[in-house]
């Protein structure tokens, strides 16, 4: 195991090198999977020496974890990048639910192959699972904040549980389409997901 101190670059050249390693790692993890990829291959794909790889990452596990964190944050930013999540009417609430579902679906097209490997790793590696749990807690808190902001329109009362149900349901549907494949066309699945979430949260169909 390499014992050298890991470098966090501040110069543009170092940052660029580190980003190349991150990109190469994501590509190889997507193509070959975590366990069939080694640090030497990642360094070669990034166009750097193996020793350079170890200057920035202790081994491939910290690299995978960082790629996961960056990937998750990118999805989060893509989904929640709205001027405001506070609704003024039931009609606006339905519209926002629709936008959020569409953005969640679009964001999962960033790297579906990597996401498939990520799901496998969540169930097989405790470090990846721990990071996933941490990131999910952040999302749940954001969903709960959205619900609290619009409490006066809601039919549900247990906002913490509702937040978890929304996340689990939306992810399951999107994963079934983007990652595992669905016999039902995507537009029909997404339309019913929007309708289901809207009816559950606001207690009405319109």
DSSP state at residue 106: H
Which residues does 2 contact at the CB level (< 8 Å), separation at least 6? 54, 58, 59
Q: What is the pLDDT of residue 13?
A: 86
In 3D space, the residue among 37, 40, 64 whose CA is nearest the CA of residue 50 turns out to be: 40
pLDDT digits (tens, 9 = 90+) for 35-49: 999 999 999 999 999
Q: 3-class secondary structure for 20-39? A: HHHHHHHHHHHHHCCCCCCH
Residue 44 to residue 128: CA distance in whole angstroms: 25
**What is the rounded average pLDDT of the residues 105-125?**
87
DSSP for residue 9:
-
Per-residue model confidence (pLDDT) at position 84: 80
Quick one: tokens of 36? 């069939």
Quote the CA–CA distance of 49 and 149 in Å, as a whole number.
51
pTM of the model: 0.84
9-25 burial code (b ≥16 CB/10 A, e <16)? eeeeeeeebbebbbebb
Q: Are 98 and 87 in contact (CB under 8 A)?
A: no
Considering the four listed CATH numbers 3.90.79.10, 1.10.10.60, 3.40.50.880, 3.30.930.10, the one that applies to the domain covering 12-58 is 1.10.10.60
**Reduced 3-state DSSP string for 144-184:** HHHHHHCHHHCCCCCHHHHHHHHHHHHHHHHHHHHCCCCCC
Q: Which residue has the tokens 């936008």?
A: 99
Report pLDDT digits (tens) over 141-167: 999 999 999 999 999 999 999 999 999
Name the DSSP letter for residue 87.
Answer: -
The topology (CATH level 3) of 63-202 is: Tetracycline Repressor; domain 2 (1.10.357)
| Token duo for residue 50 | 């193996």
Domain coordinates of the chain in residue numbers?
12-58, 63-202
- Assigned token pair, 69: 């964190």
**What whole-number distance in Å separates Cα of residue 200 and Cα of residue 206?**
12
Question: Using one digit for the tens of pLDDT, what is the confidence trace for 1-14?
Answer: 444 567 676 688 88
């Amino acid at each position: 195991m390499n014992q050298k101190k890991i470098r966090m670059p501040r110069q543009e050249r170092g940052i660029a090198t580190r980003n190349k390693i991150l990109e190469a790692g994501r590509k190889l993890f997507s193509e070959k999977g975590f366990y069939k990829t080694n640090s030497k291959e990642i360094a070669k794909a990034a166009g750097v020496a193996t020793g350079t790889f170890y200057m920035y990452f202790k081994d491939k596990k910290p690299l995978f974890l960082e790629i996961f964190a960056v990937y998750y944050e990118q999805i989060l930013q893509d989904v929640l990048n709205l001027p405001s999540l506070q609704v003024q009417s039931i009609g606006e609430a339905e519209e926002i639910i629709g936008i959020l579902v569409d953005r969640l679906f679009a964001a999962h097209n960033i790297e579906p192959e990597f996401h498939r490997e990520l799901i496998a790793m969540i169930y097989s590696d405790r470090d990846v699972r721990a990071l996933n749990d941490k990131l999910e807690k952040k999302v749940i808190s954001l969903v709960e904040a959205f619900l609290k902001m619009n409490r006066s329109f809601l039919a549900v009362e247990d906002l913490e549980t509702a937040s978890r149900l929304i996340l689990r349901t939306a992810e399951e549907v999107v994963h079934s389409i983007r990652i595992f494949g669905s016999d039902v066309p995507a537009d029909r699945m997404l339309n019913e997901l929007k309708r289901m979430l809207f009816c559950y949260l606001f207690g009405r169909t319109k």
